[in-house]
């Protein structure tokens, strides 16, 4: 097994179309490796698909961010990452608390509930493409489409005023950049919490017909309502609901521009788009930090005993390129149908909004290339600025023309 002296986390992702060499080496060497993390401590890294699913599905691995062994990938550890030091967010809860919190809001994200949003999402995408076509060329697809689509959708879903999008988008970017100082991170966290606290307070006085308003009424009727818990929920859904999908839109568009033959196949048959979305999710796997855990007892994974109290980093990106599970994983194959990927996680904490994300991606890709068949990138793919320093991978810009 590779030693901690040789391996450090995090590893910057500088190329959208190739895994970091350290990931490749770790996965080939062992399912589980020991690494050094930025605060000077150590953690275990899981890089193979089967073992990744084992950890994510095993309740002996805790998601509790308040646990002293939790492996944060910044020098300051968890400073600035906890939106409320008195209240766990759902992403940091364990059973049975997590299951109860998840069930409260799960009905908002069923396939049926999300499908009802399709006409409105299509309207949003069509309007933004209209504006893109009417504007100057070249244009930045991140600014004009990739970021506004999920931001508008999550704002309408939650009941957040879209005119505030620059405020929460800026603070979200501060929080996900690993190089952000502790002071700046804490300031952004406090400002975002205060903003959401005020928004929740408004809805407490006058519950509106949106997710937050409905949750307030539902939990009051059940006698379980808590202001701080609603802030935590709104923070999780607002940040995860726009940042992740925005990055997948930009990366997916870049991949489709770079693979015109495969793009032509889904243009000819839109019924193939959902399978293409699954492959794009597998191929890029943009989120790593959400799958960090702490062992609550000694657990054997991949022939390695992980002691109680040790942190574990499940590298979904490495697991989704496991050649034992995905043949020629480095090859983008839009007809692969890779539904068993772990881009949305696995087990109890699997992404709550995955049905919504899939629909947004499907609508964007089908609409964008149908309406702008001559769309092309302005820069070589290697020169497109990537978010190598962020905990959620993506593109800062994607200049396009047509």
Nearest to 271 by CA among 327, 368, 337: 337
Q: What's the average model confidence in pLDDT over 110-135?
A: 97
What pLDDT does residue 323 have? 97
Percent of the chain with pLDDT over 70: 96
Q: Where are the beta strands (DSSP E) in 212-363?
A: 292-295, 299-301, 304-306, 311-314
With 0-12 / 13-18 / 19 or more C-beta atoms within 10 angstroms meaning exposed / middle / buried, residue 41 is middle
- 3-class state of residue 329 by DSSP: coil
Q: Say how far apart CA 240 and CA 151 lie, in whole Å.
A: 10
Round to whole Å and give the CA distance between 10 and 71: 11
Q: Tell me if 311 sits within 8 A of 241, measured CB to CB.
A: no
Name the residue among 38, 47, 13 with its Cα closest to residue 393.
13
Supply 55's token pair: 């950890």
Q: Is residue 4 part of a domain?
A: no
Bridge partners of 129? none
> 156: burial class by Cβ within 10 Å (0-12, 13-18, 19+)?
middle
Work out the mean pLDDT of the chain and round it to a whole number.
93
Among the ranges given (2-16, 84-98, 112-126, 212-226), the one the predictor scored with the smallest mean pLDDT:
2-16
Instruction: List pLDDT tens digits, range 294-325.
Output: 999 999 999 999 999 999 999 999 999 999 99
pLDDT at 85: 63
Residue 136, token pair as written in the block: 């100057």
Q: Which domain holds residue 204?
A: 21-383
Q: Are strands 139-140 and 399-401 parallel, antiparallel or unpaired?
A: antiparallel
Residue 104 inside a domain? The answer is: yes
Confidence of residue 84 (pLDDT cuts 50, 70, 90): low
List pLDDT tens digits, range 19-77: 999 999 999 999 999 999 998 999 999 999 999 999 999 999 999 999 999 999 887 66
Among residues of the chain, what percentage have pLDDT more than 90?
A: 85
Backbone dihedral angles phi then psi of residue 295, each to the nearest 5 degrees: -70, 130
pLDDT at 391: 87
Kind and range of the H or E run holding 372: none
The answer to whether residue 9 sits within a structural domain is: no
Token output for 57: 């599905």
Q: Give the H/E segment covering residue 173.
A: helix 165-176
Question: What distance in Å separates the CA atoms of residue 350 and residue 90, rounded to the nearest whole number?
Answer: 12
Q: Which pLDDT does position 339 carry in this prediction?
A: 81
Q: What is the mean pLDDT of residues 268-289?
A: 94
What's the pLDDT score for residue 209?
95
Count of the separate structural domains present in the chain: 1
- Report yes or no on 207 lying in a domain: yes
Q: Is residue 401 part of a domain?
A: no
Higher pLDDT, 119 or 178: 119
Residue-wise DSSP of 306-320: E-TT-EEEE-HHHHT
In a domain, 391, yes or no: no
What is the domain-level CATH number for residue 188?
1.10.630.10
The pLDDT, as a whole number, for residue 4 is 45
Q: Model-level pTM?
A: 0.94
User: What is the average per-residue pLDDT within 137-157?
Assistant: 97
pLDDT of 110: 95
Rounded to whole angstroms, the Cα distance separating 41 from 71 reads: 8
Q: Is the dihedral of CA 361, 367, 370, 375 positive or negative?
A: negative
**How do beta strands 376-377 and 61-62 pair?**
unpaired
Give the pLDDT band (50/70/90) at residue 79.
low
Q: Which pLDDT belongs to residue 74?
A: 81
The pLDDT confidence band at residue 180, using thresholds 50, 70 and 90, is confident
Is it the case that residue 3 has pLDDT exceeding 80? no
Cα–Cα nearest to 333, from 402, 286, 275:
275
Take residue 209 and report the two structure tokens written for it.
Answer: 């017909």
The reported pLDDT for the residue numbered 231 is 94
Q: Give the C-alpha separation, 9 to 12, whole Å.
A: 9
**In-domain check, residue 7:** no
Q: Give Cα 54 distance to the centre of its chain.
A: 20
For the segment 388-394, the average pLDDT, to the nearest whole number, is: 89
Q: What is the pLDDT of residue 224?
A: 94
Say yes or no to pLDDT of 89 above 60.
Answer: yes
pLDDT over 70 at 6, yes or no: no
- Interstrand relation of 311-314 and 42-46 (parallel, antiparallel or unpaired): parallel
pLDDT at residue number 80: 56
Coil vs helix vs strand at 103: helix
Does a structural domain hold residue 356?
yes
| pLDDT at 288 > cutoff 90 | no
pLDDT score of 82 more than 70:
no
């Amino acid at each position: 097994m590779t030693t901690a002296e040789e391996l450090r986390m995090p590893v910057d992702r500088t190329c959208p179309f190739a895994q970091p060499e350290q990931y490749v080496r770790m996965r080939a060497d062992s399912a589980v490796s020991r690494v050094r993390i930025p605060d000077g401590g150590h953690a275990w890294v899981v890089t193979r698909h089967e073992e990744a699913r084992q950890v994510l599905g095993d309740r002996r691995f805790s998601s509790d961010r308040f646990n002293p062994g939790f492996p944060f990938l910044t020098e300051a550890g968890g400073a600035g990452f906890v939106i409320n030091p008195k209240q766990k967010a759902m992403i940091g809860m364990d059973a049975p608390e997590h299951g109860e919190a998840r069930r409260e809001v799960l009905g908002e994200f069923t396939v049926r509930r999300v499908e009802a949003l399709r006409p409105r999402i299509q309207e949003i995408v069509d309007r933004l493409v209209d504006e893109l076509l009417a504007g100057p060329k070249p244009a930045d697809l991140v600014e004009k489409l990739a970021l506004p689509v999920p931001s508008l959708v999550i704002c309408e879903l939650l009941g957040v005023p879209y005119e505030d999008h620059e405020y929460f988008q800026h603070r979200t970017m501060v929080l996900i950049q690993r190089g952000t100082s502790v002071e700046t991170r804490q300031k952004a966290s406090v400002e975002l919490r205060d903003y959401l606290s005020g928004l929740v307070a408004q809805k407490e006085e006058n519950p509106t017909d949106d997710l937050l308003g409905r949750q307030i009424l539902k939990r009051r009727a059940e006698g379980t309502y808590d202001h701080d818990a609603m802030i935590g929920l709104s923070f999780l859904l607002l940040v995860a609901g726009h940042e992740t999908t925005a990055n997948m839109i930009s990366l997916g568009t870049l991949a489709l521009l770079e693979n015109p033959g495969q793009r032509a196949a889904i243009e000819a048959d839109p019924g193939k788009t959902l399978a293409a979305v699954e492959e794009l999710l597998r191929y890029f796997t943009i989120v790593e930090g959400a799958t960090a855990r702490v062992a609550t007892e000694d657990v054997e994974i991949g022939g390695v005993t992980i002691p109680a109290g040790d942190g574990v980093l499940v590298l979904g990106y490495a697991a989704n390129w496991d050649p034992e599970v995905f043949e020629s994983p480095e090859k983008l194959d839009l007809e692969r149908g890779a539904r068993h990927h772990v881009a949305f996680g696995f087990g109890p904490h699997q992404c709550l909004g995955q049905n919504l994300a899939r629909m947004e991606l499907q609508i964007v890709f089908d609409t964008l290339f149908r309406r702008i068949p001559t769309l092309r990138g302005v820069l070589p793919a290697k020169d497109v600025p990537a978010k190598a320093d962020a905990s959620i991978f993506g593109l800062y810009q994607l200049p396009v023309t047509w």
